[in-house]
């Protein structure tokens, strides 16, 4: 039982990070029907922004409390990735919004390559480690729970609650839901569709930045390739939970975290990705819209 609980906690930590990234995928797809394949690299940019902020802080303010340092890292990472995603949406996606469906997809893949290579050239190809920011570990018999895991749980729950409130209870959320249902009608009713889409990209980037900072804190290393695998896993989580559904994105992220954790603890770790994508294929065969997804009704 102790081993089961330990793997459950590890899976919850990993799934929380995947869920935060997956929300960005599902929000953009829900509003404009586009898969932003550069979103994983925005997550990687958030990690590097947090890393550079950390290096600046320790060089200027030695002895700064870890809590303040983490808060500043989060804020700077969110601001930087939000700016990046806003620029990406304006210059790469908006001009192609009325084009054929493959054009934005190809552009998104191109932006992913651009961001990855930009970080490789500017920061170097090697791993960038940082010292352990939060090293406290609490033992409950054979089960260990680290303080950084608790921080990830709390931040994930708070952010998800805040974004759920924004989407469901605010004027911005109503504009986003109206744009999702019918962009032309939303524009006729006075909603600034372009601004709503830009804000959605910014919100997704902010969540990806938080996930990138948590990833950096948890693993203690950043690399320019970090955006690809977590990005693909988060996209898989969004599809598994039902792309276009915020609760589905979180559920899918948690499921993939649990699958990877339990598989790695009981079977060959090299095959954990096979298990993840195998379960995704199984779910989509019997429920093509994902677990919480709703079938789209196309009017003719």
96: tokens are 């192609």
What's the pLDDT at 290?
A: 82
Q: Which residues pair with 145 in a beta bridge?
A: 138
Q: What residues in the chain have per-residue pLDDT under 50?
A: 300
Phi, psi of 252 (to 5 degrees): -65, -40
What tokens does 221 get?
């290393």
As given in the structure block, the two tokens for residue 43 are: 């997550």
Q: What is the pLDDT at residue 296?
A: 62
Token pair recorded at residue 210: 């938080």
Cα angle for residues 23, 24, 30 (degrees, 5° grid) = 85
**Residue that has been written with the tokens 């948890």 in this structure:** 218
Question: Model's pTM, two decimal places?
Answer: 0.90
Per domain, the residue ranges of the chain are: 1-286
User: pLDDT tens-digit profile of 234-270?
Assistant: 888 888 888 878 888 888 899 899 888 888 877 777 7
Question: Would you give the DSSP letter of residue 92?
Answer: I
Predicted pLDDT at 78: 94
pLDDT of residue 297: 56
CATH number of 1-286: 1.10.3470
Residues 6+ apart with CB under 8 A from 258: 8, 11, 12, 15
Distance between CA atoms of 144 and 294, rounded to whole angstroms?
39
> What confidence score (pLDDT) does residue 136 get?
83
Residue-level pLDDT at 208:
92
């Amino acid at each position: 039982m102790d081993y089961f609980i330990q793997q459950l906690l590890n899976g919850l930590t990993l799934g929380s990070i995947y869920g935060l990234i997956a929300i960005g995928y599902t929000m953009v797809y829900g509003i404009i029907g586009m898969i932003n394949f550069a979103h994983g690299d925005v997550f990687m940019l958030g990690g590097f922004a947090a890393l550079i902020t950390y290096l600046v802080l320790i060089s200027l303010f030695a002895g700064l409390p870890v809590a303040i340092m983490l808060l500043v890292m989060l804020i700077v990472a969110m601001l930087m990735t939000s700016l990046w995603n806003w620029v990406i949406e304006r210059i790469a996606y908006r001009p192609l919004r009325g084009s054929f469906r493959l054009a934005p997809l190809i552009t998104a893949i191109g932006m992913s390559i651009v961001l990855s290579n930009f970080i490789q050239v500017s920061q170097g190809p090697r791993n960038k480690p940082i010292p352990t920011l939060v090293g406290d570990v609490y033992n409950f018999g054979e089960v260990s729970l680290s303080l950084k895991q608790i921080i990830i749980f709390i931040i994930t729950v708070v952010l998800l609650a805040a974004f759920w409130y924004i989407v469901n209870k605010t004027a911005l959320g109503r504009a986003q839901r109206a744009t999702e249902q019918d962009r032309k009608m939303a524009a006729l009713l006075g909603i600034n569709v372009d601004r709503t889409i830009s804000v959605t990209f910014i919100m997704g980037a902010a969540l990806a930045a938080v996930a990138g900072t948590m990833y950096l804190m948890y693993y203690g290393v950043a690399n320019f390739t970090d955006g690809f695998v977590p990005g693909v896993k988060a996209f898989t989580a969004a599809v598994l939970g039902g792309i276009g559904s915020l609760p589905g994105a979180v559920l899918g992220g948690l499921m993939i975290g649990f699958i990877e954790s339990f598989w790695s603890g009981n079977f060959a770790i090299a095959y954990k990705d096979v298990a993840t994508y195998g379960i995704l294929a199984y779910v989509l065969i019997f429920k093509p819209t994902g677990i919480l997804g709703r079938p789209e009704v196309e009017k003719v």
